[in-house]
Chain A
């Protein structure tokens, strides 16, 4: 028998946390094997040991029953392993062809063989069922296309094992379909595919088998996805029953808390009108490019508002910068946690206190370090943020916990209106549920929440009202009683 790829007792310890605890399972070639688990469960860490970026403290990785020793990522590449991460490793200013063959340029005694470079690139692009010009600079491609380049890179190095880490978070449905077609092709080629995703529908759609992780431990490996149910996997992932993932409960709506009238500006073509009430959660749904993030940027003061007015609790406000927005009790949870949310090299405590520290200065000037420690501890406790200490660098936390840190930043401030841009993107089931609960609690306290999401079931599950955007304008809105997938999608899709 024997598996093509096997993990045996892989253990990885970081200061204060056992990220992987004796992980053992095998994967057959010519199959797609899913890895599922909550954030911090160990999936990404395992991929890092596979790619050679991390060395396990104990255990072995075997390929065709031979123990592999990776001192660095080049060793893993040479062994035929390619890992495609959420953060793509492409050089934006270089062309498609140059990126495809980076490190392996066809050359004649050191001089670049441009003809061969172009030929091989065109061949690879065709295999990926794409049609872009090999001379296009990678920075001009969409995320989906960039992902294809990463796959192309792996194929050009004839990777036998290809692992995907949350590949679909930024893709449209059509792009996901294309990605799956390519992955199926890779499987037919006999390659070994590992697929990490929080989206259960995808795991069921594309994987032949899967392994469930929890808290760094191997919980169970299911050899045949057809024999497994969604609820069973979720139960294994969280170790408890999850009745309704969204946990929606009705609550009362109050007076208008946030009113946008005839707002126009960059990325927003027609006037935008939007009202949020106290206790209301309004979801903004739309496809990529609909203008949702642009709207948030306008509201929050990052782009100039060319016309219109904004009112918070009935009073007109001028939100000319993020600082003014916060002073007017409006905050933003940005779409990109890593680049716009946390300050990675500073501590959890500093990330939480960054704005609210102004409220408890000593003599109105000096930092109140004791108060800051207490604030940080309070939110680490209340929101169950998994970190060894408040001084841990924020970059070392998992995505879900980083999001909780950003939430804490605003919960420690005085905020009435929360703008949340894809608040649960790239976060697992268990932590998503915790974030929904925080949203419901805030709403119950009388706050107003405006959240952007590309996850239609989530938008329908969590919102009191959905507003649909398309091409920079609001097409329509639906109350919860009126929600159907068809109605919402028909508003969101471009009219052909």
Chain B
């Protein structure tokens, strides 16, 4: 009898460690950090992780399939600049947004095609596109912020739906959609299979190349989307936006239990990972901790997360 209860607790511990840690952290911070547990702060926290959260969805898929994507930061900047430039030159917000999204997809397709069809290493390929498209962002913007003239565009990033900022709503919807894709579609299962054992997945009839191209293209789209929203919130396209974002997104995924070897990922983990990253920065800000120290804390948290994951793997 005690054996089954012990096993149940062990099962919960193994599968929901990160959620438990999140809950504990949330409670501790609510108690010890003044102003943390207020509606305004919660909204601010959620808003602060929108860019990371949107892209974490597709980064989860990329990592689950066994690949890294370092280019997302540049895609955010590139699409933001593109959107700004197009809105200014055409006067149309919709055309601007569509172009911005397409800019993101362009990066994704180039990544996907190079990695899947040409067989190039994902880490190096996305490192290269990261550099290329950061360069493109600077070229298109002449190295300066591109202010957006059409105020209609600002609604996207600055409006509210039912009292909650629109970007947060969009982020939540994205988690739901990608969660369903991961858990309830063949595409999701195929992704996990490819990350678990690519050769076996191919022999079992999965079109590995197509799946990877879709994943990277989708990531390009989400990074583009995040770039559009960011540009809307900042009312301008910034060529140096989102520097280092890829590391934050990957950290959030790792915190959320996504395996860097591929084949293991959960949406609940990723959501919690994103929130934990946000909570840490948020709490440090509330405590007036200098930015430099925040880097140290965030890096240490990531290290602890990976170590806990190794311990968990060993116990299996």
Contacts and interface: CB of A to CB of B under 8 A. Distances in A.
B185 A340 contact: no
Interface stretch (A212-220, A350-358, A455-463, A472-480): A350-358
Contact of B206 (A323, A341, A346): A323
Nearest to B207: A323
Given A321-B207, A334-B203, A340-B203, A367 B192 contact: no
Nearest to B209: A321
User: Which interface class (under 10, 10 to 19, 20 to 34, 35 or more) fits B?
Assistant: 20 to 34
A350 B264 CA distance: 13
Contacts of A112: none
Contacts of B263: 343, 345-346
Interface string A381-403: 00000000000010000000000
Contacts of B199: 339-340
A325 B204 CA distance: 10
Majority secondary structure, A binding face: mixed
A343 B200 CA distance: 7
User: Which interface class (under 10, 10 to 19, 20 to 34, 35 or more) fits A?
Assistant: 20 to 34
Nearest to A365: B185
Given A326-B205, A409-B204, A344 B193 contact: no
Interface in A236-264: none
Interface in A334-383: 334, 339-346, 350, 354-355, 357-358, 361, 365-367, 369
Contact of B205 (A334, A340, A355, A366): A355
Interface in B262-308: 263-264
Contact of B200 (A340, A358, A361): A340
B196 interface: yes
A86 B74 CA distance: 46
B243 to A, nearest CB: 34
Interface string B44-68: 0000000000000000000000000
Interface string B173-208: 000000010011110110011001101111111110
A350 to B, nearest CB: 7
A166 to B, nearest CB: 21
Nearest to B313: A345
B38 interface: no
A344 B186 contact: no
B264 A322 contact: no
Interface in B195-242: 196-197, 199-207
Contact of B193 (A332, A354, A393): A354
A323 B205 contact: yes
A15 interface: yes
Contacts of B205: 322-323, 325-327, 354-355
A321 B259 CA distance: 29
Contact of B202 (A322, A345, A350, A393): A322
A63 B307 CA distance: 36
A72 to B, nearest CB: 12
A344 B203 contact: no
A327 B200 CA distance: 17
- B184, B199, B202, B203, most chain A CB atoms within 10 A: B203
A367 B193 contact: no
Nearest to A15: B7
A382 to B, nearest CB: 20
A322 B203 contact: yes
B207 A343 contact: no
A321 B210 CA distance: 12
B186 A367 contact: yes
A186 B268 CA distance: 56
B207 A358 contact: no
A327 B207 CA distance: 12
Contacts of B196: 343-346
A367 B184 CA distance: 5
B186 A361 contact: yes
9 contacts: A322-B205, A323-B205, A332-B203, A340-B197, A341-B200, A342-B200, A358-B186, A365-B185, A367-B183
Given A323-B207, A343-B197, 6 more contacts: A302-B203, A325-B205, A343-B193, A343-B263, A354-B206, A355-B205
